[in-house]
Amino acid sequence: MGLKRFFPRCLLCILFASSSGVTVPSAQASCGAVTCFVVVGSQQQVPQKGLLTFNTIYNYTPMRTAEGTDGIIPAADQEGRRLILEHHREVRTITQTVNFDLNYGITERLGVQVTIPYLWRTHKHIDGLGEDGVNGAGELVPFRDNGIGDMTITAKYNVLPTLRSMIVAGFGVQVPTGSTSARDDGGALMESPSQLGRGQVGLIGSIYQTYELIPHRLNQFFYGSYRHTFRNNDGYQFGDEYNLSLGANGFPFESTPWLVLTGQFSWRYLVHDNISASLERSRFPSDGGFPGETIILDPLIADRRSPNTGSTYFAFSPGFQVSLDGFIDSPLTKMTSVYFYSQIPIARDSNNNLAQGISYIFGITRSFQILNP
């Protein structure tokens, strides 16, 4: 077997084999939810002039308390502008998202991308520690909501177009189209991280790079992004977000040119959230009047860091893509692909909060030539 035939198979096998030895230490996330994130080339690239690429992506992300953590975190009472320490115990969040993603090539180097998410979210926590329930144990409060999330509009420019490589710089604006008024089953306004939208504009900068290590057989890619969201009208500001991904994809078998295998490592860092609020804490059994009303530590409404938000997350994502027009020759499958990824945590740190578990992504891509290039 020649080097050019052996190398892509060897590299992809190494990437996939590394997922079998993954361990899951600590934790990740904020009180509400996060979503699985992977690089899908048809999203990050600039389509050729006049080509419209449509992605429909289903994302399933479960979150639970990690081993060695108790999930006790503060409450962000935005209506009362109160940050209450040790107030509730997180149980579970499941977020399902369908992203409708449109990419259009304005010129050979300039493109625009519009992403519209639709979310289903369920959440459970034990509310009112030190205040409610038997002996101040709190009460289980469920929450569920579904609807459109925050839409993102991104302009992309191919800085370095060559036969074997490209570098795409992107600048996006996240528009606050998602709801921020959902309430739990007890009638209380849910905290901003649990809402479908962030309630304020966000700015996103990104860079995508790819290079053909072996022409038409094996590609290397890198993606990095940064998000900053401004403070919303409830006095809540989400922490800045940093994402880095590095991976490879290629055709493992000459007899199946319609099959592409992918492996990528992803790292995400979330800065602590911030809220304009007074500072209180729930009562402990050692306090007088337990259970009872919270204890006021500082009545001044000021910008305060939410201590159990912010996280670091590192994961491996194996996946595959099937080109339907190479597998089934018909007008319905022309320029159409389907793909699947699984994101497996390797290392997580969430400040005693919910931890993202193994997540899954299914997607379908269809391209249409709107104008002749």
Do 367 and 53 touch, CB atoms closer than 8 A? yes
DSSP states along 238-263: PPPEEEEEEEEEE---TT-TTEEEEE
CA neighbor of 35 nearest in space, from 265, 242, 343, 339: 343
Q: What is the pLDDT of residue 44?
A: 81
Q: pTM of the predicted model, to two decimals?
A: 0.87
Domain boundaries defined on the chain: 3-369
* Whole-number Å distance between alpha carbons of 144 and 162: 48
CA neighbor of 28 nearest in space, from 311, 361, 338, 224: 311
* Whole-number Å distance between alpha carbons of 125 and 206: 35
Q: What is the pLDDT of residue 1?
A: 40
Q: What is the pLDDT of residue 32?
A: 54
* Whole-number Å distance between alpha carbons of 287 and 294: 10
* Whole-number Å distance between alpha carbons of 204 and 173: 6
Q: What is the pLDDT of residue 346?
A: 95
Alpha helices per DSSP H over the chain: 3-17, 41-44, 324-327
DSSP states along 162-179: -SSEEEEEEEEEEE--S-
| Angle at 255 (CA atoms; ends 12, 262), nearest 5 degrees | 25
Q: What is the CATH number of domain 3-369?
A: 2.40.160.40
Q: What is the pLDDT of residue 98?
A: 96
Total residue count of the chain as it appears in this document = 373
Residue type, 13: C
Q: Which residues of the chain have pLDDT under 50?
A: 1-31
Q: What is the pLDDT of residue 43?
A: 74
Do 53 and 169 touch, CB atoms closer than 8 A? no
Do 82 and 131 touch, CB atoms closer than 8 A? no
How many contiguous H segments (helices) and E segments (strands) does the chain have?
Answer: 3, 18
